[in-house]
Amino acid sequence: MILNKPITYIPGISGQRAGLIYSELGIKTCNDLLNFFPFRYIDKTQFYQIKDLQPSASEVQIVGKITRVNEIAQKRGSRLVATFQDATGTMELVWFRGQKWIKDSLKVNEPYVVYGKLNHYNGSFSIPHPEMELVKEYKKKLQSKMQPVYPSTEKLTNSGVSNKLMQGYVLKLLQIVYDTIQESLSPEIIGDFSLMPKKEALLNVHFPKSQENLAKAQYRLKFEELFFIQLQLVRKKLINKTKIKGFIFENVGAIFNEFYADKLPFNLTNAQKRVLKEIRKDVASGAHMNRLLQGDVGSGKTIVALLSMLLAIDNGFQATIMAPTEILANQHYIAVSELLQGMNIKVDILTGSVRAKKRREIHAHLEDGTLHILIGTHALLEDKVQFNNLGIAIIDEQHRFGVAQRSKLWMKNKMPPHILVMTATPIPRTLAMSVYGDLDISVIDELPPGRKEVKTVHRFDSNRLSVFKFMRDEIAKGRQIYIVYPLIQESEAMDYKDLMDGYESVSREFPTPKYQISIVHGQMKPADKEHEMQRFVKHETQIMVATTVIEVGVNVPNASVMIIESSERFGLSQLHQLRGRVGRGADQSYCILLSSFKLSAEAKTRLKTMVETTDGFKIAEVDLKLRGPGNLMGTQQSGVLNLKIADVVKDSKILVAARNTAISVLQEDANLSKPENINIKNTFIQISKSSKIWSNIS
Ligand code: ADP
Ligand code: MG
């Protein structure tokens, strides 16, 4: 197939040039070039009238006449100014170079088509160095009215690979291959969505005949791109469901029921009940569960995890929770142990700081099956840790763990344990579809009753004194306070200094013995951290000064004030996580965002969003818009998001349509073996061969 050949196949591209294009743009084959899309177009389909010009317009095309030409002397050189007029108004055309030659060539009072970049200055419009053509010449030519502008690099431009040249290559290629381009979608899909046929779409995305055609071509190609991604994700999910067998937790037994009846300290929220039902359905089905549980901070994921583990134990299996930090693992351990008090269930914890002797003991009990629940950090992943019969693995705060780690946990068994991944980072629906499209998703979208919304304010550093006063008042009421410093500077030493300076000034404001202050940061030994945390948990200290190590999961219900220093330096999701540390008790809680006076527009948006809403999903949407999907999810998943033409944020409607279409195609024809799906199948095979993205997911 021609499309698989290197671009040197196209007349005029030498091996050397092809090498440069490959190293600069990653284009190797003819197919790569065909799918190398313009990022904008020079639109010569539209004509403007001078009265309709807007300062926001970039390039415009106007028909009019030159009424006068003046050469205006300047300090350095001169400029040539032509007064240009149509039936609706007047503007200027300006030249700074080649005035002499241009002046001689301009024809006064003859109609011209003028095209160029529009400048707006002091209320009047001008076009510097316009492209000009007499109307009578213009009419003679048959020209493409919209020209593609391709992404390029300095190196390419300097080596003479201009946009014109790229246009030429693509045009030649299209001429050669046009008739051989295969349709990739089924007639049914094309009909249902009134899609432009593939050939036409490729032609029009490069050389659109009109804005309307361009829009149709782009829609078609975006749909196709998203459709095939979803087809792979959905197919993977279906295969997992049907091919990978899971343990069956048949019984909701004595342990679950005893806990539910006697130990559960509150009524579950409706959202918790719904999610639990979803999990129960999964683990009873005989298929392998691979579920993502999203729930905002404080929404009560822990109890759902615990109840799921009890289901496993009821059916003779072991269970585990893996957390990203020791502090968190400890908290889970304490919470789970407390909840299970008086029940005959053995729980233990394994982290990096567990001593060798204790460790061996844990290993032994894990292997002989007497240990029911093991909670820990990534220490759980060591080869020495062997379960007797692991039925379910719960992974907390998944964005901290790599995908490889997920599957490592999974490989520990003869049969994969059910997997429940819990995350407190709300992921916008469309993004979740792209990145976690192969997982089932549950959402706890309701907070336990009685929570008061955290009152959030933004204060400048200069208001610090009033913040101190507020802190004193809250402490007098018996409350506790977090003060968090960012840990995002280039040098750890600098962060440490910021923190210590802050600690000192807080210590001065809140002197002993009346006030006690805890401090926790990354350079402390785990045991010391733990000690300081515990002092705060036990209310021996009123203030906790910390870096973001407390970001995840820490639960101190009596702490009701969160003060975030240099809050402009935190990302939205971090701010949201931090704020989630308060508002866990019965008291009104507060979050104070301190910042310097000078703020970037983006920082302003972040702080404003935090003040305006506590809804994690809304915050995540703003974050997605500000930072784009790649940054949001980290490089790990960026492969899935490395889209050529579609945009997860802007094209969310197309994404939903593409996903639903992929689902219905596979539901009717799981192996794509029906004749009407032949196009899809061929393309699918082609894509699967060339993409490594998919092996990286779960
Ligand atoms: P997260 O989802 O952030 O992990 P947790 O599981 O730590 O949330 O729960 C936060 C707090 O809410 C805990 O103190 C927990 O005991 C409490 N909680 C959870 N579910 C409920 C409920 N249905 N009713 C009342 N309190 C609840
Ligand atoms: Mg939690």
Q: Which CATH number belongs to the domain containing residue 270 in this structure?
A: 3.40.50.300
Range of the domain at 324: 254-285+300-423
Measure the CA dihedral 212/218/220/223, to 10°: -140
User: Which residue would you say has higher pLDDT here, 687 or 509?
Assistant: 509
Distance 518 CA to ligand 1 centre (A): 25
Is 338 part of a structural domain of the chain?
Answer: yes
Is 692 part of a structural domain of the chain?
Answer: no
User: What is the atom index within ligand 1 of the atom nearest the CA of 335?
Assistant: 16
The owner of tokens 């300062």 is 55
**Cα(82)–Cα(94) distance, integer angstroms:** 6
Distance 79 CA to ligand 2 centre (A): 68
pLDDT tens-place string over residues 530-551: 888 889 989 999 999 998 766 5
**Cα(311)–Cα(263) distance, integer angstroms:** 15
> Do the Cβ atoms of 617 and 426 come closer than 8 Å?
yes
Each as own residue / partner, the long-range contacts of residues 349-356 (CB below 8 Å, 24 or more positions apart, any chain) are: 349/374, 349/375, 349/376, 350/374, 350/375, 350/376, 350/377, 350/379, 350/380, 350/385, 351/326, 351/376, 351/377, 351/379, 351/526, 352/326, 352/377, 352/379, 352/526, 353/326, 353/526, 353/527, 354/379
Distance 502 CA to ligand 1 centre (A): 32
**82-86, 119-123, 596-600 — which is least confidently predicted?**
119-123
Q: Do β-strands 318-322 and 347-350 pair in parallel, antiparallel, or remain unpaired?
A: unpaired
In terms of domains, do 551 and 607 share one?
Answer: yes
698 Cβ inside 6 Å of ligand 1? no
In terms of domains, do 389 and 515 share one?
Answer: no
Distance 96 CA to ligand 1 centre (A): 69
**Cα(510)–Cα(597) distance, integer angstroms:** 25
Q: Is 442 helix (H, G, I), strand (E, B) or coil?
A: strand
Domain boundary among 92, 112, 144: 144
pLDDT tens-place string over residues 18-72: 999 999 999 999 999 999 999 989 888 789 999 999 888 788 999 999 999 999 8
On the question of pLDDT at 698 being above 50, the answer is: no
298 Cβ inside 6 Å of ligand 1? yes
584 Cβ inside 6 Å of ligand 1? yes
On the question of pLDDT at 640 being above 60, the answer is: no
Confidence at residue 693, expressed as pLDDT on a 0 to 100 scale: 43
User: Which residue would you say has higher pLDDT here, 470 or 440?
Assistant: 470
CB 460: neighbour CB atoms within 10 A? 13
The residues with which 83 forms a beta bridge, in sequence order, are 68, 92
Distance 577 CA to ligand 1 centre (A): 15
Nearest CA to ligand 1 atom 26: 448
On the question of pLDDT at 489 being above 60, the answer is: no
Nearest ligand to residue 295 Cα: 1
Q: Place 602 in a pLDDT band, splitting at 50, 70 and 90.
A: very high
Nearest CA to ligand 1 atom 17: 300
Q: Which among 273, 296, 301, 303 is the best mutation to test ligand 1's pocket, defined by most ligand atoms within 8 Å of the CB? A: 303
On the question of pLDDT at 631 being above 80, the answer is: no
The percentage of residues in the chain with a pLDDT greater than 90, rounded to a whole number, is: 58
Is 229 part of a structural domain of the chain?
Answer: no
On the question of pLDDT at 697 being above 50, the answer is: no
Is 233 part of a structural domain of the chain?
Answer: no
Q: Please report, for the domain that includes residue 74, its CATH number.
A: 2.40.50.140
What is the 8-class DSSP label of residue 289?
A: P
> Do the Cβ atoms of 698 and 249 come closer than 8 Å?
no
Mean pLDDT for the stretch of residues 634-648:
66
**Cα(578)–Cα(197) distance, integer angstroms:** 50
332 Cβ inside 6 Å of ligand 1? no
Distance 298 CA to ligand 1 centre (A): 5
**Cα(369)–Cα(387) distance, integer angstroms:** 7
In terms of domains, do 593 and 493 share one?
Answer: yes
Domain boundary among 144, 177, 211: 144
**Cα(526)–Cα(636) distance, integer angstroms:** 28
301 Cβ inside 6 Å of ligand 1? yes
* Residue of 84, 96, 95, 87 lying closest to 124 (CA atoms): 84
> Do the Cβ atoms of 202 and 400 come closer than 8 Å?
no
User: What is the atom index within ligand 1 of the atom nearest the CA of 299?
Assistant: 2
Residue length, the chain? 698
Nearest CA to ligand 1 atom 9: 300
Q: Place 145 in a pLDDT band, splitting at 50, 70 and 90.
A: confident
Distance 364 CA to ligand 2 centre (A): 29
Distance 408 CA to ligand 1 centre (A): 29
Q: Is 411 helix (H, G, I), strand (E, B) or coil?
A: coil
CB 141: neighbour CB atoms within 10 A? 7
In terms of domains, do 553 and 506 share one?
Answer: yes
Name the token pair of 122: 């002091």
Confidence at residue 694, expressed as pLDDT on a 0 to 100 scale: 40
User: Which residue would you say has higher pLDDT here, 629 or 235?
Assistant: 235
What is the 8-class DSSP label of residue 10?
A: S
**Cα(312)–Cα(249) distance, integer angstroms:** 6
**Ranges 91-100, 632-641, 646-655, most confident:** 91-100
User: What is the atom index within ligand 1 of the atom nearest the CA of 304?
Assistant: 6
User: Which residue would you say has higher pLDDT here, 125 or 400?
Assistant: 125
pLDDT tens-place string over residues 575-593: 998 898 898 888 899 999 9
Is 481 part of a structural domain of the chain?
Answer: yes
Neighbours of ion ligand 2 (CB under 5 A): 553
Name the token pair of 99: 């005035």
On the question of pLDDT at 643 being above 60, the answer is: yes
Confidence at residue 623, expressed as pLDDT on a 0 to 100 scale: 87
On the question of pLDDT at 529 being above 60, the answer is: yes
Distance 553 CA to ligand 2 centre (A): 5
Confidence at residue 333, expressed as pLDDT on a 0 to 100 scale: 94
**Over the chain, what is the mean pLDDT?**
88
In terms of domains, do 273 and 408 share one?
Answer: yes
Q: Place 209 in a pLDDT band, splitting at 50, 70 and 90.
A: confident
Nearest ligand to residue 396 Cα: 2
269 Cβ inside 6 Å of ligand 1? yes
Distance 584 CA to ligand 1 centre (A): 8
Distance, first Cα to last Cα, the chain: 34
**Cα(136)–Cα(105) distance, integer angstroms:** 16
300 Cβ inside 6 Å of ligand 1? yes
In terms of domains, do 460 and 397 share one?
Answer: no
On the question of pLDDT at 17 being above 90, the answer is: yes
**Cα(429)–Cα(616) distance, integer angstroms:** 12
541 Cβ inside 6 Å of ligand 1? no
Nearest CA to ligand 1 atom 10: 298
On the question of pLDDT at 142 being above 80, the answer is: no
Is 521 part of a structural domain of the chain?
Answer: yes
Confidence at residue 405, expressed as pLDDT on a 0 to 100 scale: 57
Distance 529 CA to ligand 2 centre (A): 19
Q: Which among 447, 555, 560 is the best mutation to test ligand 1's pocket, defined by most ligand atoms within 8 Å of the CB? A: 555
Mean pLDDT for the stretch of residues 643-669:
90
On the question of pLDDT at 553 being above 60, the answer is: no
Domain count, the chain: 3
The secondary structure of 135-179 as a DSSP string is HHHHHH----SEEEE----HHHHHTT--HHHHHHHHHHHHHHHGG
In terms of domains, do 268 and 404 share one?
Answer: yes
Show the CA angle centred on residue 489, arms to residues 567 and 460, nearest 5°: 25
Q: At what angle do helices 652-668 and 211-243 cross, to 10 degrees?
A: 50
451 Cβ inside 6 Å of ligand 1? no
**306-310, 335-339, 441-445, 560-564 — which is least confidently predicted?**
441-445
297 Cβ inside 6 Å of ligand 1? yes
* Residue of 440, 441, 442 lying closest to 236 (CA atoms): 440
In terms of domains, do 137 and 269 share one?
Answer: no
Q: Place 101 in a pLDDT band, splitting at 50, 70 and 90.
A: confident
Domain boundary among 375, 399, 423: 423
Nearest ligand to residue 301 Cα: 1
**Ranges 272-276, 351-355, 620-624, most confident:** 272-276
Is 496 part of a structural domain of the chain?
Answer: yes
Q: Place 441 in a pLDDT band, splitting at 50, 70 and 90.
A: confident
303 Cβ inside 6 Å of ligand 1? yes
**Cα(91)–Cα(126) distance, integer angstroms:** 6
616 Cβ inside 6 Å of ligand 1? no
User: What is the atom index within ligand 1 of the atom nearest the CA of 268?
Assistant: 23
Mean pLDDT for the stretch of residues 139-159:
83
Confidence at residue 410, expressed as pLDDT on a 0 to 100 scale: 61
* Residue of 524, 482, 537 lying closest to 331 (CA atoms): 537
On the question of pLDDT at 554 being above 60, the answer is: yes
**82-96, 602-616, 638-652 — which is least confidently predicted?**
638-652
pLDDT tens-place string over residues 302-342: 999 999 999 999 999 999 999 988 878 988 999 999 999 99
On the question of pLDDT at 79 being above 50, the answer is: yes
The secondary structure of 579-592 as a DSSP string is HTTSS-SSS--EEE
In terms of domains, do 263 and 401 share one?
Answer: yes
Nearest CA to ligand 1 atom 23: 268
302 Cβ inside 6 Å of ligand 1? yes
What is the 3-class SS of 497-530, one letter each residue? HHHHHHHHHHHHHCCCCCCCEEEECCCCCHHHHH
Q: Place 690 in a pLDDT band, splitting at 50, 70 and 90.
A: low
Distance 374 CA to ligand 2 centre (A): 16
Distance 271 CA to ligand 1 centre (A): 12
Q: Do β-strands 89-95 and 347-350 pair in parallel, antiparallel, or remain unpaired?
A: unpaired
Is 672 part of a structural domain of the chain?
Answer: no
In terms of domains, do 395 and 307 share one?
Answer: yes
179 Rama sector, left if φ>0, alpha if ψ -120 to 50, beta otherwise: alpha
Mean pLDDT for the stretch of residues 98-105:
87
Q: Which among 302, 304, 576 is the best mutation to test ligand 1's pocket, defined by most ligand atoms within 8 Å of the CB? A: 302
Distance 424 CA to ligand 2 centre (A): 7
